[in-house]
Amino acid sequence: MPPAPARFVNPIPNPARYQKYNSVTLESLCEASYHGHIEKLEVLLKSGDADQIFNGDVNLHLTEVNALHMAAMAGQEAAVKLLLEAKADPHVRCVVPEGKDPKSGETAREKAAKFKHQSIVSLLKSAEEKTPPGWYQADGIGNNRKLYSEPKPVATPKPEAQAEKAQKEAPKAKETPKAKEAPKTAKEESLPVALLFPGQGSQYVKMLDGVKDVPEVKEMLSKAKTILGYDLLEMCLKGPEDKLAETQYCQPAMFVGGLAGISKLKSSNAAAASQPRCMAGLSLGEYTALCAAGVLTFEDGLRLVKLRGEAMQEAAQVGKQAMLSVAGLDQAVLEQCCSDAEKKAGAGSVCRIANALFPKGFSCAGTEQAVNELKTLAEKKGALQAKMLKTGGAFHTSLMQPAQEKLEKALLEAFPKMSPPSCDVYMNVTGDRLAAGTDPKIILELLQRQLTSPVLWATLVQKMIKDGITDFYECGPQKQLKAMMKRIDNKVWNKTQSMEV
């Protein structure tokens, strides 16, 4: 059954819209907008069939800009008009570097003015006057919780229920009305606790040794052996280290390790394990968080993680790729270094921020030559650290597009069995909170972008703290997330515990 269309997205009539999920990405829309490929844009927004139509939100950001920003800055007036027809919101602003006021981000009109496209400035000024703000927050950045909210259907009471209601409401002699206790909300029933799940890089030989005999963990390991086709426990306990570090093996190990961390937490703080207000996971750890929140079953989650790891390892073998840990530079300075490194390395080079981990702490990824150039540039700019990482590839950059396409197909197959999360989940791609009960189609769309988008870890943790979370539990191997917490908020670091496995 095709998904119900979201009311805020593209009102241009086309019976093919929302018939099914397809492989048309936000990147395709932005590329056509920037280059002014009007025929392709017409297909994406107006005339395409079920396989070619763009079914997503035209206002979503690709990195720091969206399709309307790109068309405006490139002077593509026809593309701007078509995007406005598809209800691109002219009030939406660019995403700004961490630490800057979101309201300082430029609108599409300001982008056009900067590049002196006066006719587009006039066009967008008129659009701003005609389009009331409200789809997005006051700072102009997307708020998917508002965007995707649909009116709840009003149930028609059954005759028996109406009669019972009338009987209860009929006045009774000498009856003293009793005060009714308001039902508790999910927030009131939960604790101000967050469960955090690490990603690739926290694995080590002998992990799971201390929890392998816990009944829940034993059951997971038994199921994993069938799904994966090899003995995951044996690999975790015996290695060798190089093999466990391989992406295709490491990711299933970390997925099971994170869930095993919850089992360990249950023995020391059952309430925290069963009543957390929110969860989040770093990169691969996001799948662990979604499984723990009830969006995915263990079996479906592990199958997705298995395919994800295999696809990422395969994509990493195309050309020479590398990752670099950088600390001590502002994000804007590092982004400029990445851009300069790409230029120095030549055509086809990629060098981007892949993970924003803590204030002035990042990992960058791309083609090997460009990342080596970045190391030199970052050191010249005064970086406290610029260290090459032992990873399998340029994760969370455009070089992972082949892996993302394979993963998208598997996600679509798993989608009908996905459930709304039982607690809030803070997502890597946006850094924003998805409330408990959120429609899984929003989670699907964010997962479809995760492999080629930077992970906004510092942002989402800071938002958790701002939203009132006081206690944090890192569930899984080692203490890397707790170590980063010290850089994010030293006071909260004291309230962060690691459930090592």
Query: What is the average per-residue pLDDT within 144-151?
Result: 34
* Active-site annotation holder among 91, 396, 453, 498: 396
Query: What is the average per-residue pLDDT within 374-392?
Result: 92
Q: What are the tokens at 20?
A: 């099914």
Q: 187: pLDDT confidence band, cut at 50, 70 and 90?
A: low
pLDDT digits (tens, 9 = 90+) for 39-76: 999 999 999 998 899 988 888 888 778 999 999 988 99
Amino acid 154: pLDDT: 37
Q: How far apart are CA 247 and CA 235, in angstroms?
A: 13
Q: Taking 90 as the threshold, does the pLDDT of residue 469 lie above it?
A: yes
Query: What is the average per-residue pLDDT within 12-20?
Result: 80
Percentage with pLDDT > 90 across the chain? 72
Percentage with pLDDT > 70 across the chain? 86
Q: Taking 60 as the threshold, does the pLDDT of residue 149 lie above it?
A: no
CA 46-51-56 angle, to 5 degrees, is 60
Amino acid 20: pLDDT: 74
User: Beta partners for 24?
Assistant: none
Domains and CATH numbers, the chain: 26-147 (1.25.40.20), 191-315+399-499 (3.40.366.10)
37 is catalytic: no
Query: What is the average per-residue pLDDT within 351-377?
Result: 97
Amino acid 121: pLDDT: 95
pLDDT digits (tens, 9 = 90+) for 129-138: 988 775 555 4
Q: Taking 70 as the threshold, does the pLDDT of residue 147 lie above it?
A: no
Amino acid 179: pLDDT: 40
Amino acid 9: pLDDT: 60
pLDDT digits (tens, 9 = 90+) for 105-131: 899 999 999 888 999 999 999 999 988
Please tell me what DSSP assigns to residue 290: H
Amino acid 146: pLDDT: 36
Query: What is the average per-residue pLDDT within 172-190?
Result: 48
- Residue 253: count other Cβ atoms within 10 Å of its Cβ: 28
**What is the separation of C-alpha 480 from the centre of its chain, rounded to a whole number of angstroms?**
20
Q: How far apart are CA 499 and CA 501, in angstroms?
A: 7
Task: Return left, alpha or beta for 489; rule: phi > 0 is left, psi -120 to 50 is alpha, else beta.
Answer: beta
Of 5-14, 333-342, 426-435, the poorest mean pLDDT is in 5-14
Specify the DSSP element, H or E, that contains 420. Answer: none
Q: 459: pLDDT confidence band, cut at 50, 70 and 90?
A: very high
* Active-site annotation holder among 28, 190, 263, 283: 283
Q: 160: pLDDT confidence band, cut at 50, 70 and 90?
A: very low
Please tell me what DSSP assigns to residue 341: H
- The model carries a pTM of 0.66
Adjacency order of strands within the sheet including 433-434: 433-434, 424-426, 276-281, 191-197, 471-475, 496-499
Amino acid 82: pLDDT: 95
Amino acid 175: pLDDT: 41
Instruction: Return mean pLDDT, the chain.
Output: 87
Amino acid 134: pLDDT: 57
pLDDT digits (tens, 9 = 90+) for 258-316: 999 999 999 999 999 999 999 999 999 999 999 999 999 999 999 999 999 999 999 99
Amino acid 135: pLDDT: 52
283 is catalytic: yes
Answer with the residue of higher pLDDT: 319 or 168: 319
Q: What are the tokens at 91?
A: 């009030």
pLDDT digits (tens, 9 = 90+) for 227-267: 999 999 999 999 999 999 999 999 999 999 999 999 999 99
Residue 168, Cβ density class (10 Å: 0-12 exposed, 13-18 middle, ≥19 buried): exposed
In the chain, helix, strand, coil percent, each to 5?
A: 50, 10, 40
Query: What is the average per-residue pLDDT within 318-344?
Result: 95
Amino acid 188: pLDDT: 53
- Helices assigned H by DSSP within 131-279: 144-147, 159-169, 186-189, 215-228, 232-238, 241-245, 247-268, 270-274
